[in-house]
Amino acid sequence: MPKIHVLSSTDRQGSNAWKVTNYIDPILSQNAETKLFTLRDYPLKDLHGGKYGDTPDTVKLFNDEFLDADGYMFVIPEYNGGFPGILKVFFDYLPFPEAMEKRPVSLIGEAAGAFGALRPVEQFEQLLKYRKAYIYPERMFIQRVNSTFDPEKGLSNETLQGLLESQLEGFPAFVDQVMQLQN
Ligand SMILES: Cc1cc2nc3c(=O)[nH]c(=O)nc-3n(C[C@H](O)[C@H](O)[C@H](O)COP(=O)(O)O)c2cc1C
């Protein structure tokens, strides 16, 4: 089974992104070996003042543990029409240029609003494309997350729940295919 690391892409306490991350894990782990990460654990304080070119060991350790996988899934909330600032900091301190190169990546957005984090997911895709990742084409945008998502049961809309499960079942197979191409 491919190894897939999932990142809850905010450091907000009690975040929906972390709830979604925990909800999807049992479904994803039917076909993958998974490990969950949250940017709440990111050693942001060690970057105070800007440490570009001199990445602290704590940040290197977080990066190394996250990158040690065959594929990645990002769960991204919408903050002011974009993705959280800490996700950009995390991305800017990944090893350049190789961190995401030819790596399979899958994306889930969640937001209080009606667009379900379509904007931040597509903005983040631009960064991933620049860094030459292979983006899985099935994506989920969880709209009005506070009323449509239950941390135990998933999405209240059956069609959307089906699409979410399809993404979670399909992504491990995509990761396998990419690995075969590279061997
Ligand atoms: C700083 C901030 C900015 C936000 N901006 C938006 C926004 O632009 N559009 C939107 O639909 N929701 C916005 N929200 C609501 C969040 O999308 C919603 O609360 C989401 O569940 C937050 O994800 P989190 O719980 O994982 O932090 C914002 C929330 C925060 C904290």
SS3 34: strand
Q: Which atom of ligand 1 approaches the CA of 19 most closely?
A: 26
The CB of 81 under 6 Å from ligand 1? The reply is yes
> What element of type H or E holds 75?
strand 71-77
Closest CA to 174 of 100, 106, 75, 99: 106
Closest CA to 73 of 40, 35, 129: 35
The CB of 16 under 6 Å from ligand 1? The reply is yes
CA-atom Rg of the chain in angstroms? 16
Spatial distance between the Cα atoms of 111 and 166, rounded to a whole number of angstroms: 20
Residue 15 exposure: Cα atoms within 13 Å on the Cβ side: 24
Q: How far is CA 46 from CA 80, 130, 145, in A?
A: 26, 27, 32
**Which pLDDT band, with edges at 50, 70 and 90, does 36 fall under?**
very high
Q: What is the CATH number of the domain that holds 139?
A: 3.40.50.360
95 close to 126: Cβ distance less than 8 angstroms? no
Structural domain range at position 85: 3-182
Specify the pLDDT at position 183: 84
For residue 143, how far is its CA from the centre of ligand 1 (angstroms)? 11
The CB of 143 under 6 Å from ligand 1? The reply is no
State pLDDT tens for residues 57-90.
Answer: 999 999 999 999 999 999 999 999 999 999 999 9
Number of domains in the chain: 1
Specify the pLDDT at position 74: 99
Spatial distance between the Cα atoms of 75 and 183, rounded to a whole number of angstroms: 29
pTM over 0.95: yes
